Amino acid sequence: MWKRLLSLRHWGHVFRRIWPLLRSPRVPLGEKLLFVVPALIYWIMPDLLNFIPIDDVTVTLLLMNWFTDRAERKYGA
C-alpha cells in the first residue's frame, strides 16, 4: 500500500481520473458527495477539527485516492 501511495505514476492516474469521475453520469451523486462533502468540511472548518493534526491537502489527496479507487472499481467509469 505504501509503495503505491508514494508512486508518482499512481498519483498521476488519480489526478487524471478525478474530474472525469466527478462529471460522469455513471457515478451516482451520492458517491460523489462521499468525496466532496468531507473534503469541503475539512477545508472550511479547520478550527473545529483541530484535534486531527493532518494538513488539508493531505486529507484531500487521501480522499481523492479513495474516491478514484472506489468509483473505478464499482462503476468502471
- pLDDT tens-digit map of 27-46: 999 999 988 998 888 787 76
Q: Percent of the chain having pLDDT more than 70?
A: 79
58-74 per-position pLDDT tens digit: 888 889 989 999 999 98
CA atoms within 13 A on the CB side of 72: 13
What is the four-CA torsion angle of 11, 15, 21, 22, rounded to 10 degrees? 130
Torsion sign (Cα): 39, 66, 28, 14: positive
Model pLDDT, residue 71: 92
Q: Is the confidence at residue 3, as pLDDT, over 90?
A: no
**Helix, strand, or coil (residue 20):** helix
